[in-house]
Structure 1
């Protein structure tokens, strides 16, 4: 039974060995190929064969759908050939029947996602696994259907075109793409058309280039929204389409002239207006925009053209008319006529004109000073009430009202003014060295109308007089060496003077006549506002005479001439071997002074202070010991009677002699240890007394001890313990000493 069931299998093995025997014998026996060819005169040509393989996209696949078949010529349809599929999607997207070689697809495909699949097939002997055919590669193509609409790229589309452009001028280009197959069929072949934007614009049907179709004017419309459609399948039935909007901005061209809003204007200006004051403004319209609308204004040489100016405001494009000359209602014409021209800034041939009439308005004007500002001078030694100068103002109106003058005392109170005539005079003494200039403000007011006030600045310069004597300038410490020789240079001094002019000051230096005979130093005038100090003897001693004083008289060349007397201090210094005074300023004088005995005196003084402090310390320690011993003995013996008594009556009623001579004393007991938690008297004296609870406990213990003791003093006696307590900043007020026992 077993042999009968496996007859087909054995037959297949035998047949395979029979077929492959020439190859096996060639490899094993190394028989040359040429010899085999001689034996096998006829070869059977075998190979793969298949029909074109393709799948249409977007097909719904509910069960495996047949695609095509692969087979080999060696297939005898006896089931001995096994077909195997490899590659893209094998087993997941495509499957192959291993017996027939038929290929099926398992799910819906999308060409736009993957347009083809590359697979490999192999035919092997089902029993031996030996390849029957060499592995072959093939492609399954996904066929396209029109399932994608066109899409515009590079959106949004914004373009510009100048107005008045000629017909056919290029504007922009729109481009759409289609994901469908552009190599096969018309699914991706697009055509363009304009749905909105005609007749101003047109589009090329294949390229999508938009051009100007008719003349456009920006002043009529400055922006167009052109709607463009893209349709696939060359616009045939079933085509898909999409639209986009192209915003086309029309650029301005300078083709319009300015136009005044009206041909004539009327304006007015008050007669008190100053030069440069604005009279009014005019505006010409230009329907162009940007730079094309910029314009300039000018006054044509007609009428009163020189009385006014006109300028162009670059922001508002207005013509600003300003006053060029002063106008006066009382003395000149009360109306002026000018003609204004507005022309395009870049095309002067585009212009317009307008006439302007300007009327002068009469006003009550404030007083006017004859000068814009005043400059005056006065010497610093002028007496109070001296005349400085005058200011004058007039009423510009025909009424010629009376003027009153005044000073705004804000910065200076050294001057006053006569209200009727404007004369300025001093009310305080002046000092040029304190204030060279005085700036005051003078007011002019109409007497009948105080509301009209004018101001003017008055600058008063205080002129210098020679009232300051010269003084030494920055005199440092002056040193002379002990080994100096006669007529040796010691120091050079100079002087300053607060008076003017500083550049022409001339100072002279001298000594008082009474010091010339016994002078230790002399001074020599150099004639250039400096003087040299020279030695008048050979050698100096820092121990005998450490300091010298030199009196110097400094005089100026003013009128009258002023002088000052100053005393210079010259210190003697041991300059060392080099005989140089540079080291003297770094403590040389102090060193010399200390060598002269001051160091010994200071040392003796410090020693006396130390000895005195030691004696005081010893005395304090001794007194403290005596008081401590007495206090220990008398701490429980001092008593105090706690009844004020009644004077003589009390003496008669009670005999105190017994108390004086027969004082009952308690038996001395063993001394109890002092509690460490009770604070020291030193601490209590500082106001840092013990805790209240501890103090109360201490008193309770002493009271209990007195009540329980048999040999105690009478109840009308009160023990006074050496515990003062705290609370009094003045200390104890008792006049009793601790060494006495007081009985009342």
Structure 2
């Protein structure tokens, strides 16, 4: 009992505390002296060594031993109460020999808080349905603590949680355990797993604790409907997208799990059949694809409602709206529609008149449907937009059918797509003629040459006008504007075909009587009202060589032979005769040239082909015949040429003519010369002639123009002509058919041949009258008159 008391728990505790406080760790507890048994048992330590001490333990002998020399009870191995027995006592016998004494010893192992609470499982798994109501209780496996008494489990603690709490209960044996209480309903979709820490704390000092992990897995219930990413989708899809083209992949999610989250997609009843025929919906993955070709112009917007349904019991569903907007492609050509058009208009249509009304359209949209309209270049029209998509074609300039009879008007409409598409329409506009053009003659003045002696009814010319108008506005009628000439109407002289303008002569014209006509021709169309114009026609009668030359000098009374007498002593170059012929034809046909047809001695006489003067080429010699025959032809310039001839018979006489002066007549004296005298006379005459020629040339060079002289000409055969009462040199040749105021003088005969002017249209009179100068006449030619028709 004493020993028992000495191992009172309090004492032992003090001892142990003392040991711990002295730094003796539990792991060094082996070899520690528990008690001095010899002292405690009252044994003599001197004799203790001679006695045998044997320690017999009934249990747990391995923990204690005794020191036989000192009698000390030594811990042989660290003592763990929890491993000894449930009684916490160690029973032993101490046997002491010599004498034998037996001591029964019970050693009570006093518990210390050397064990922490410990759960049977480190992790506690709980499956709780999210549909579990709040307040539900769940049993948890409790923790164990080998310590006893106050060192055993005192309480439990749960980590902070809004959904869970614990309730501690005490068993009949005093053990404590905890129940898990659901304080708030779970939501798997919010938190599928809850991790909690359950802590068991003992009552020791210091307290020890142990923990266990509680994993609460929230079991799913089908409490969430599938939900799409968006409530509505608006998708732009290009028209003409190929079949099978992926339009959109819908995505619906279900917060549930398992079959509760497996989703099936489908069209709702609100989706039209047209839409379901155009698009397909994959029930498994929500893909919407093109099922058939899409045409923007047929259908532009497709509305559909897609339902996502989970596979849970009493499955839930969600829906979304999908709007597919078809994007236009520039795949339609613009169209032109003719609303109003008259293919024929009058050419005098007013500027601003509407000719054509068109409308344009394009099934495309946006820029693809925006249209630009224009007409072909270089037309006198303007395109004006009257209203939306309607255009008017207006006349912008005066039209003229004669310049452009018709127009091919091309309308071109082009959209603004990429690339742009276009369409065109060509209309033919025909201009109807109005009588707006007067007949036009190709010339403003017609000069028509008509050869005289024409046949009556002969075609003179065609005076034709042109009228650019059409039909009756183009049909022309021709008239001669009446005009009287010398009491004669033009319609009596000329005639014109009213249909083609052919001009005819109604009579034969004579150039010598009528030389020209001037009148007007009018061309008139058949329009309403008619338009007309006129042209001046100048008819010129062309001369024909129809008049034969008439020889008026030298004068011959009967026949064509003229006999003349000349002195044999005539000098070289002396004017023997002058042949003058006139022709009533025109200037060209009246030009006279003179030629010898017969000349007895070609070396004796010369003939000037232009003025008809016959002169001596040399002096006569005794060998020359006394009678010379000269035949002169006067030929005009016509085709064929007409001519007249005159024969001049010259007889030489041995008579000298005295020179006269101051217009006094000196009789001629004839002497018969001998041959010697003849040669002397010839020589003297030649010298005198040369001297006279020299003087005349000098005078001409100084005066340039011949002046009338009172001195008689050196030759009796000189011819003086005068125009307008002016005496001219005998070499003057006049080609004027009328020979107005022409004077011809024959000084040899003392006669003056005058061609007197008479009124136009009368005949010309050539007469020979005696001179008043008193010249001696060598012949008895009587005064005579020549009438030329």
TM-score tier, shorter chain, comes to: 0.3 to 0.5
Give the number of the structure whose residues are more often helix, by fraction.
1
Give the number of the structure whose residues are more often strand, by fraction.
2
In the superposition, the TM-score normalised over structure 2's length comes to 0.36
